[in-house]
Amino acid sequence: MHPKTRGKLVLTVVGWLAAGLIFFPIFWMVLTSFKTEVEAVATPPKLFFTPTLENYITVRERADYVHFALNSMIISVGATLLATLIAVPAAYAMAFFPGKRTKDLLLWMLSTKMMPAVGVLIPIYLLFRDTGAIDTRWGLIVVYTLMNLPIVVWMLYTFFKEVPKDILEAGRMDGAKPKQEVWMLLLPLSLPGIASTALLSIILCWNEAFWSLNLTTSEAAPLTTFIASFSAPEGLFWAKLSAASTIAIAPILVFGWMSQRQLVRGLTFGAVK
Amino acid sequence: MSTIVLKSIQKNYGAVQVIKGVDLSIDDREFCVFVGPSGCGKSTLLRMIAGLEEITAGDLIIDGQRINDVPPSERGLAMVFQSYALYPHMSVADNMGFSLRLAGVSKEERRAKVAEAARILHLDKLLDRKPKELSGGQRQRVAIGRAIVRKPRVFLFDEPLSNLDASLRVQMRIELARLHDELAATMIYVTHDQIEAMTMADKIVVLQSGIVEQAGTPLELYHHPRNLFVAGFIGSPRMNFLPAKVTAASDGATTIALANGANLSIPVRAGRQRAGDAVTLGVRPEHMRLAGEGELVGEVMVVERLGGETFLYTQLTDGTMLIVQADGEIPTSVHERITIKLDPAACHLFDSGGLAIERMERHPLANLRRLPTRKAS
C-alpha cells in the first residue's frame, strides 16, 4: 500500500473511533430510554430487547415538558441576543481601534472563563435573592449573557479582524457614521461569523446546568432542571432519566445537526486562514 | 473647487516620527502627486488629509477652514484605495450610490447620478454586477466612480494603479488625466512610480523619510532638482553621479576636474564653493553623447536595446558605472570602448552636502503646467 494511502486509512479509522467514542453515550442513553427499568440496569447489558414507550409516557405525565423547553428556548435565545448586542460594539472597537492594552484585555476576558463558577455561587445567589431574580427567566438571561460574553466577544473579534480595514475606511470616506459603518458594512460582511457565534452561544446556554439548577426551581426552570428532577439518589429509574434526557437534548441536537456547517466554521475560527 | 494647505504637519507613532513637519499648499484644481520610495510617509500623509490617521501636530486647512478634528465622514473628500475597497455585498450601482444613500438623497436622484458617473467611466452595462464578477480594471473604475458620484471637494488616490497590469495601467493613467480635466477637481495622488508622477502631475511632491525633499512641476524637478535624492529619483534611468573637484569658481561658471583629470566648466551661479572643494557632477543618461573625443572613456559592459533607444552600461577606467542613452540604431556591442562627450549646459553640480548648486539659466519649460488653460467653473 502507498504510504500516503495507508496514512489516510489510519486517520479515517482513528476518526471513526473517536466519533464512536463520543457518540456512544448518547446512543446508549437513547437505547436505554426504550427499555424497562429492569432491563436498563441488567448485567450484562442487553442490546436486544422489546422497545417500550412506557418511560416517555411516565415522563410526560410527571412533568410539563413544553414549559421547560419553552424556558430553555427563551433563555438561550435571549441571552445570546443580549450578549451579541453588547459584544458587537466591543469587538468592533477592539478589532479596528485597538489600544495598547487591547490584547491583554481580551486575554483577561477569556481568563475569567477559567474561574470555577462555584467560586462565585454565594455572592451571585445573594444578589439574586436581594433583587428578586431567583427563579426568573431574566435572571438566568443575565447570568448566561455574562457567562458567554468573553467567548462571544473573542469570536466576533476574530471574525471582524478578517474584514478588510479598507472597506470600512471607504465607508467612512463615503460619509458613514460609526453606527452606519457597523450596521451597513461590518455586519453584512461578517454575517456567517456572527451566525456561528450565535449558534455556539445558544448551544452553551441550552446545555448549562450549574446556574440553572442553583438559581431556578419551577417557574423559570429550563430543560437541565427538568432532567435533574428525574435523577434519583441511588441511580434508580435509569430508563426514565434516559427518556427525559433524550427529549431534553433532542431539539438542540437537531438544531446543531442542521447548522453544523456554520458551527464547524465557528469552532475552527482562526485555524485556517 | 478647493485649496489645501498643510502647515508643519507631523505624525508620531509612539516615539517614532514618520512625518517630520510638512509644509505644502495645493491649489484649486491642481493634480498633485506625492511620490517617494516605500516607507517615505506618502500614504500616511494622504491618510492624514483623508482623516483616517490622526494629525499629531500642525494644521490641515481646506478652503480656509482648519479640519484637523473633523471626522473623515464630514470632510467631503473622496478616496480611491489601492485595494479598491469595494463593498463586496453590494452591486456596482449600490457601491457607487452608497455615499448618496448615506446623505439621504432620493432614490431617483441617486439613480440619475450613478448613471451619469457610469457613463463617464463606461460602466453602464455592469451596474447590476457584484464586485467579484468584475475584472481588476473594472473594479478600479467602480472605485473611481464611487468617488466621482459624490462630487467631493478633493479626490484622494492611494496608489490606485499598482494592482493593474502594465498596459491597463497606461490606459488608466490617460483616463485619469482626462477625468481630471473633465471634472476640474483638486486631486492628490500617491504613487511610488515616478513615471505616473511625471505624466499626470501639475505638481510633484517628492518625499523621503517623512520630509518633503522638493515640490514643483514635473519639469522643474527634472531640470532643477534641489538635491542628490531628487536628482536620482526623478528621471529614468536614473541620473549618473561622478565625483569631482572644483578647480576654479567664478560668477557664471565653475570649473571642475573629474577623477580622470578631464576639465569641465559648468554654468552655475557662484555659491560658497571654492577651489579644492569636493563636488558631485550629475548627468542624465539622455544628456550624454558618443563622440570621437570627449571627457569620459569607458568599456561597455551591458547593452540594452529597446528599439527606439539603446542603454549602454559603461564602466569607466576608475571603475565607476555609467548609464548612457544612445540612439536605437547604434551598432555598439559589449566590451567596446566608447568615448562620451558631456554637454555642460545639461550637467548638474551638487556640493559636498548633496545640495544642488543653482544653475545659471532656468529651463524655459520648468514652470509649465500639464494643462495650460483651465475651464472656468
Q: What digits encode the pLDDT tens for the residues B50-69?
A: 999 999 999 999 999 999 99
pLDDT for position A272: 37
> What distance lies between CA A83 and its chain's CA centroid?
13
pLDDT for position B274: 85
pLDDT exceeds 70 at position B241: yes
Of A170, A175, A180, the CB nearest to B85: A170
Nearest to B278 by CA among B263, B257, B260: B257
- Which residues of chain A make contact with B83, given a CB cutoff of 8 A? 164, 166
The DSSP call for residue A113 is G
- Which residues of chain B make contact with A174, given a CB cutoff of 8 A? 73, 78, 98-99, 102, 146, 150
Task: For residues B94 and B202, state if they share a domain.
Answer: yes
Count structural domains, chain A. Answer: 1
Interface check for A177 against chain B (CB to CB < 8 A): the answer is yes
Q: What digits encode the pLDDT tens for the residues A95-146?
A: 999 988 999 999 999 898 888 989 899 999 999 999 999 999 999 999 999 9
Average pLDDT over residues A157-183: 93
- For residue B10, what are the β-bridge partners? B20, B57
Count structural domains, chain B. Answer: 2
Task: For residues B45 and B156, state if they share a domain.
Answer: yes
- Among A77-91, B170-184, B211-225, B293-307, where is mean pLDDT lowest? B170-184
Interface check for B12 against chain A (CB to CB < 8 A): the answer is no
- Among B81-95, B159-173, B361-375, where is mean pLDDT lowest? B361-375
Residue B361 lies in a domain: no
Of A167, A173, A175, the CB nearest to B50: A173
Interface test with B, best of A167, A169, A174 (most B CBs within 10 A): A174
Query: In sequence order, what DSSP letters do the residues of B283-294 get, joined into one string?
Result: E-GGGEEE-SS-
Residue A146 lies in a domain: yes
Interface check for A234 against chain B (CB to CB < 8 A): the answer is no
Could you tell me the pLDDT band of residue B376, with boundaries at 50, 70 and 90? very low
pLDDT for position A268: 59
Task: For residues B33 and B126, state if they share a domain.
Answer: yes
Q: How many CA atoms lie within 13 A of A191 on its CB side?
A: 7
The CATH number for A203's domain is: 1.10.3720.10
Task: For residues B209 and B243, state if they share a domain.
Answer: no
The DSSP call for residue A190 is T
Query: What percent of chain B has pLDDT above 90?
Result: 75
Q: What digits encode the pLDDT tens for the residues B332-341?
A: 999 999 999 9
pLDDT for position A265: 66
ipTM over 0.95: no
Q: How many CA atoms lie within 13 A of B208 on its CB side?
A: 11
pLDDT for position B371: 62
Helices and strands, number each (H, E), in chain A: 15, 0
Of B51, B85, B102, the CB nearest to A180: B102
Residues 6+ apart with CB under 8 A from A82: A141, A142, A145
In whole angstroms, what is the distance from residue B329 CA to residue B319 CA?
27
Structural domain that includes position B34? 4-231
**CB–CB contacts below 8 A, A to B:** 56
Could you tell me the pLDDT band of residue A1, with boundaries at 50, 70 and 90? low
Under an 8 A CB cutoff, do B79 and A170 touch?
A: yes
Mean pLDDT of chain B: 91
pTM of the model: 0.83
Could you tell me the pLDDT band of residue B375, with boundaries at 50, 70 and 90? very low
Average pLDDT over residues B29-41: 94
pLDDT for position B200: 92
Residue B123 lies in a domain: yes
Residue B370 lies in a domain: no
Average pLDDT over residues B114-129: 92
Q: Where is pLDDT greater, at A46 or A234?
A: A46
pLDDT for position A271: 41
Under an 8 A CB cutoff, do A164 and B103 touch?
A: no
Task: For residues B221 and B314, state if they share a domain.
Answer: no
Structural domain that includes position A191? 64-229
pLDDT exceeds 50 at position A206: yes
Q: Where is pLDDT greater, at B368 or B324?
A: B324
Q: Work out the minimum CA distance from A169 to partner chain B, whole angstroms.
A: 7
Under an 8 A CB cutoff, do A173 and B79 touch?
A: yes
